[in-house]
C-alpha cells in the first residue's frame, strides 16, 4: 500500500541548475532556496541535500516550528519567513527553546513591538526587517519603519551589536500590484519593479544613518528574471537576494505521483459501495488505490476564480460536490476518474465505466496532485 513520488533525478537536477544559472545571470546576489511546509511534497531533508549539491549557503523555512529539522539538515544560515511575534505565545516559546542553536537563524521582523522586544534582549540576534508591500500581509509601512529605526532603544541595540541587521525583505504579490507606485526616477518597468525601487530608495537612505555592510541587502520574493535584472541595475549599492521555492523545486515534467492499485471489483448495476453506500455507473468497476486524505488526496486550495471561465468551472465543481460527485486526481486508461465517495485516510475508491481498460493489482495510477499539500509514502529515483 504505497503512494509514491517518482523523480527523474537527472532532469530534476538539470532544472534546478538552470534556475540557479538564470538567476545568477540577472546580477542578483546568491538566491535563497525556500524549503517550507512539507518541502513541496519532497520533504525538507531531501531539499536540504539538493541545496548542498547546488552549493548555496542560505535557505528559508516557513515558521519557527520548521527550524528543528532544518538546523540538523543544513549547516548554513536559515531565514524564518513568518515574522517573529512576541505576542504569539506558542511561537515565542519555540524561539526560546531554540535560543542556544539560533546563531545561524535570521528572524523576519514586521512590527515595532517585535523589534523592541529583541532590542531589550541580550542578543545578538540576526534580523531582516519586512516592508509591507501591496501584498498587504505583514510588514512595516514606510513611516513605521523609519520611526522604529529612530527609536533610541532600537538604535542602541544596533550600535551595541545586540541586533544584527541583515537587510530589508519584500514579499511581493504574484500578480502585478493594482495600485502602482512611481518613485522618482523610476518611470519604466513593471508595477512590482516600481514598488521594489520605492522601498529600495527608502532603505538606501536609511542605511546612511544605520551603517553596516550586511544591512545593505534587499531580500525579494516573486520578481521574475527580467524584473530582477531591472532592480539590480537600479540598486547599485544594495545586494538583491531573490527567495525562490516553487520555481526551483516543482518541475512537473520530472515529478510523477502514483497510487498503487490494491483491489479491483467488477460490480453489477445498482451495487452500493463505501461508507456512504452510493451506487456507481452501470456495470462499472470499482478500483481501490493507495492515496487518501493523509497523503493530501482530495485537499484543494480555494480557486482564485479571476476570470469568467474560472468562475463557471468553480460553480460547476461546487454543484457536483453538492450532488455527491467529485473528480479524483487519479488517471486510468488515459482519463481522470470519478471518486466513488470521498477519499478515505489511506486509500481512494474510484469508478471505471464499462469499456474502460481495467488495471490489475499492483499497477500504478498517475495522480495529478498539488505537491504543497501532498505527503508520499515513498520517494524514488534519488540517490
- DSSP string of 302-319, one letter each residue: PP---SHHHHHHHHHHHH
For residue 187, pLDDT over 50 is answered with yes
Distances (CA, A) of 43 to 46, 60, 70, 111: 5, 14, 11, 31
Give the pLDDT band of residue 325 (cuts 50, 70, 90).
confident
What architecture does CATH give domain 31-249? Answer: Alpha-Beta Barrel (3.20)
Which uninterrupted H or E stretch holds 147?
helix 142-150
pLDDT digits (tens, 9 = 90+) for 252-290: 999 999 999 999 999 998 899 999 999 888 889 999 999
pLDDT at 302: 61
Q: How many CB atoms lie within 10 A of CB 22?
A: 14
- Residue written as grid cell 519532497: 42
In the predicted model, is pLDDT for residue 185 greater than 50? no
| Nine-digit cell string for 240 | 538583491
**Predicted local confidence at residue 321, as pLDDT:** 46
In the chain, where does the domain assigned CATH 2.40.37.10 lie?
254-380
Cβ–Cβ < 8 Å for 168, 199: yes
Q: Residues of CATH 3.20.20.10 domain(s) within the chain?
A: 31-249
Question: Looking at residues 42-58, what average pLDDT do you find?
Answer: 97
Q: Is the predicted pLDDT of residue 330 greater than 70, yes or no?
A: yes
pLDDT value, residue 280 = 87
Q: Give the residue-averaged pLDDT of 79-91.
A: 95
Q: CA-to-CA distance for 287 and 277, rounded, in angstroms? A: 15
The helix/strand/coil state of 195 is: helix
CA angle 368, 32, 16 (to 5 degrees): 50
pLDDT digits (tens, 9 = 90+) for 213-253: 899 999 999 999 999 999 999 999 999 999 999 999 999 99
CA–CA dist 331, 337 (Å, integer): 6
Give the DSSP H or E segment for 53.
Answer: helix 44-54
C-alpha cell belonging to residue 57: 549557503
Instruction: Please count the other Cβ atoms lying within 10 Å of the Cβ belonging to residue 374.
Output: 21
Q: How confident is the model at residue 313 (pLDDT cuts 50, 70, 90)?
A: very low
Query: What's the CATH code, domain 254-380?
Result: 2.40.37.10
Amino acid at each position: 500500500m504505497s503512494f509514491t513520488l517518482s523523480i527523474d533525478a537527472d532532469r530534476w537536477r538539470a532544472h534546478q541548475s538552470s534556475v540557479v544559472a538564470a538567476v545568477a545571470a540577472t546580477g542578483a546576489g546568491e538566491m535563497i532556496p525556500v524549503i517550507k511546509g512539507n518541502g513541496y511534497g519532497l520533504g525538507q531533508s531531501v531539499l536540504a541535500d539538493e541545496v548542498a549539491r547546488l552549493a548555496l549557503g542560505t535557505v528559508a523555512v516557513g515558521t519557527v516550528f520548521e527550524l528543528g529539522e532544518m538546523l540538523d539538515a543544513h549547516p548554513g544560515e536559515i531565514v524564518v519567513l513568518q515574522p517573529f511575534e512576541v505576542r504569539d505565545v506558542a511561537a515565542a516559546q519555540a524561539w526560546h527553546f531554540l535560543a542556544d542553536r539560533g546563531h545561524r537563524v535570521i528572524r523576519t521582523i514586521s512590527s515595532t513591538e517585535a523589534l523592541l522586544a529583541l532590542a531589550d534582549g541580550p542578543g545578538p540576534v540576526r534580523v531582516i526587517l519586512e516592508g509591507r508591500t501591496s501584498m498587504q500581509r505583514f510588514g512595516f509601512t514606510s513611516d513605521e519603519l523609519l520611526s522604529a529605526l529612530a527609536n533610541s532603544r532600537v538604535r542602541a541595540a544596533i550600535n551595541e551589536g545586540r541586533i544584527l541587521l541583515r537587510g530589508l525583505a519584500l514579499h511581493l504579490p504574484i500578480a502585478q500590484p493594482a495600485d502602482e507606485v512611481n518613485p522618482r526616477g523610476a518611470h519604466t518597468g513593471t508595477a512590482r519593479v516600481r514598488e521594489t525601487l520605492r522601498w529600495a530608495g527608502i532603505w538606501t537612505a536609511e542605511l546612511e544613518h544605520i551603517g553596516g555592510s550586511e544591512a545593505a541587502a534587499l531580500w525579494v520574493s516573486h520578481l521574475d528574471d527580467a524584473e530582477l535584472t531591472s532592480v539590480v541595475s537600479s540598486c547599485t549599492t544594495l545586494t538583491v537576494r531573490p527567495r525562490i521555492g516553487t520555481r526551483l523545486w516543482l518541475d512537473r515534467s520530472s515529478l510523477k505521483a502514483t497510487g498503487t492499485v490494491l483491489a479491483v471489483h467488477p460490480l453489477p448495476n445498482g451495487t452500493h459501495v463505501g461508507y456512504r453506500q452510493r451506487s456507481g455507473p452501470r456495470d462499472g468497476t470499482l478500483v481501490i488505490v493507495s492515496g487518501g486524505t493523509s497523503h493530501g488526496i482530495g485537499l484543494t486550495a480555494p480557486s482564485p476564480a479571476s476570470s469568467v471561465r474560472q468562475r463557471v468551472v468553480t460553480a460547476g465543481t461546487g454543484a457536483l460536490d453538492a450532488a455527491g460527485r467529485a473528480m479524483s486526481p487519479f488517471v486510468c486508461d488515459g482519463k481522470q476518474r470519478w471518486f466513488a465517495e470521498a477519499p478515505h485516510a489511506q486509500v481512494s475508491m474510484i469508478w471505471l465505466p464499462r469499456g474502460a481498460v481495467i488495471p490489475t493489482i499492483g499497477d500504478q495510477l498517475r495522480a495529478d496532485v498539488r505537491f504543497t499539500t501532498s505527503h508520499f509514502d515513498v520517494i524514488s529515483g534519488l540517490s
